[in-house]
Amino acid sequence: MGNKTIFGKSENFWNREISWLEFNYRVLSEARDVTIPLFERMKFLSITASNLDEFFMIRIASLKDMVHAGYRKKDIAGMTASEQLKALIPRTHKFTKVQYETYKEQLLPALAAEGLHLIAGHEQLTKGQELYLDELFQKEIYPVLTPMAVDSSRPFPLIRNKTLNIGALIVNHEKGKEAEFATVQVPDVLPRVISVPSEDGKKTAILLEEIIERNLQQLFVNCEILCAHPYRIIRNADLSIDEEEAADLLKEIEKKLKKRQWGEVIKLEVEANIDENLLKILKKEFDVSEESIYEIDGPLDLKFLMKVYGMEGFEHLKFPIHRPQPLTTLNQDEDLFTQIKRKDILIHLPYDSFDPVVEFVKQAA
């Protein structure tokens, strides 16, 4: 009985959500470890960004739902949903800061030293690069863009979950002097990382949103663009399905999955130097609190680093490719089931080849 009392105390348990965030810190520590190949570090940083998105969409969203519902029951660590949010939000802000310190202060200089230059802003382009990207914009980017302006006759558009967008304040002098909000989604049908020719022969790239921002005037003709900044939202995507009440579980799941794109906004990511008036509009339209706004000192959504990881010519900055070895204990000319009858066969993945498993399924069919 005494042991149950000891092990049942809340101080002996660690909150699940805080524990998960600590796990993501361990992934982030891999991105900061200089003994790990550079491109692998970049990959780890991309993974932390993906993990954090899912954490907000599901775990933070679930806690907010509990708070809105007035749920006050404590978890096994003795924390209510409200207390968990109070503990988590400052930690996620700090985590984001460390992510971008890692990107700007460690990875970018190291990548440049290895001959890969990621242009931070379109203002840094050379004349030759500007001409190249302006032509690329006209041919491949402009046709897939859908700019939208908001006024008395056009309401604020629905912004999909996790999409990257560019918000702007524009003035149409033919209609008056009042600034209007305008937005355009950075299309996910195009690669976000765009290679750019360079005079020094180094591999150079720029992000798609920078090209769009440079050519924004072409999207809003006869308008003065006062400011333009990228923004991104994370919506509540927690699925709550009553399996007993659902007449058709598959249809219910499909319906809930579609709603993942349009749930309540629980996080707004913006540039650190965003115009105050533009930020006020975004804050109002998405109905987010100050603590839910993350001002980012760098490019939004670091998952693009996974695309950089796939660039050719940098294999020496990655872990060596592991090639699984064929299983020497197997006779390729003999029926697999006959061999299994004689004795068990041990396959040690990922060191041994997966082919025997595929062959096993084929022969079983």
Residue 20 lies in a domain: yes
- Angle in degrees, 0-180, between the axes of helices 61-68 and 81-101, rounded to the nearest 10: 150
258 with 156, same domain? yes
Total count of residues recorded for the chain: 365
Considering 40-54, 68-82, 228-242, the range whose residues carry the highest mean pLDDT is 40-54
pLDDT at 47: 98
List residues bridging with 232 in a β-sheet: 164, 269
List pLDDT tens digits, range 243-282.
555 556 666 666 655 555 567 899 999 999 999 999 999 9
Q: Cα separation of 209 and 211, whole Å? A: 5
How do residues 180-199 score in pLDDT, each as one tens digit? 999 999 999 999 999 999 88
Q: Is 75 found in the same domain as 62?
A: yes
Same domain for 195 and 327: no
Domain contains 244: no
Q: Is residue 246 part of a domain?
A: no
pLDDT score, position 253: 64
Establish if 175 belongs to a structural domain: yes
pLDDT in tens, 127-180: 999 999 999 999 999 999 999 988 878 889 899 999 999 999 999 877 777 899
Residue 361's CB is within 10 A of a number of other CB atoms, namely 9
Which tokens hold the place of 147?
Answer: 């700019």
Whether residue 271 sits in one domain with residue 148: yes
Tell me: do 161 and 265 sit in the same domain: yes
Do 207 and 289 fall into the same domain? Answer: yes
173 within domain boundaries: yes
Q: What is the pLDDT of residues 52-94, one digit of tens each?
A: 999 999 999 999 999 988 988 888 878 899 999 999 999 999 9
Nearest to 306 by CA among 8, 39, 72: 39
Q: Do 314 and 330 share a structural domain?
A: no
Query: Taking the complete model, does pTM exceed 0.75, yes or no?
Result: yes
Whether 75 and 24 have beta carbons less than 8 Å apart is answered as no
- Based on the domain organization, do 135 and 231 belong to the same domain? yes
Check which CATH number belongs to the domain holding 55 and give it: 1.20.58.310
Q: In this structure, is the dihedral angle defined by the CA atoms of residues 49, 162, 143 and 169, taken in order, positive or negative?
A: negative
Same domain? For 134 and 278 the reply is yes
**Higher local confidence (pLDDT), 49 or 257:** 49
235 lies in the same domain as 149: yes
Task: Say if 19 falls within a structural domain.
Answer: yes
Same structural domain, 111 and 147: no
Half-sphere exposure of 335 (CA within 13 A, CB side): 6
Q: Are residues 21 and 97 in the same domain?
A: yes
Q: Does 245 fall in a domain?
A: no
Distance (Å, rounded) from C-alpha 150 to C-alpha 148?
7
Q: Does a structural domain hold residue 205?
A: yes
Distances from the Cα of 289 to the Cαs of 81, 89, 158, 347, in angstroms? 17, 12, 19, 53
Domain boundaries, position 193: 121-239+251-297
CATH number of the domain to which 151 belongs: 3.30.1840.10
Separation of alpha carbons 167 and 171, rounded Å: 13
Query: What is the number of domains present in the chain?
Result: 3
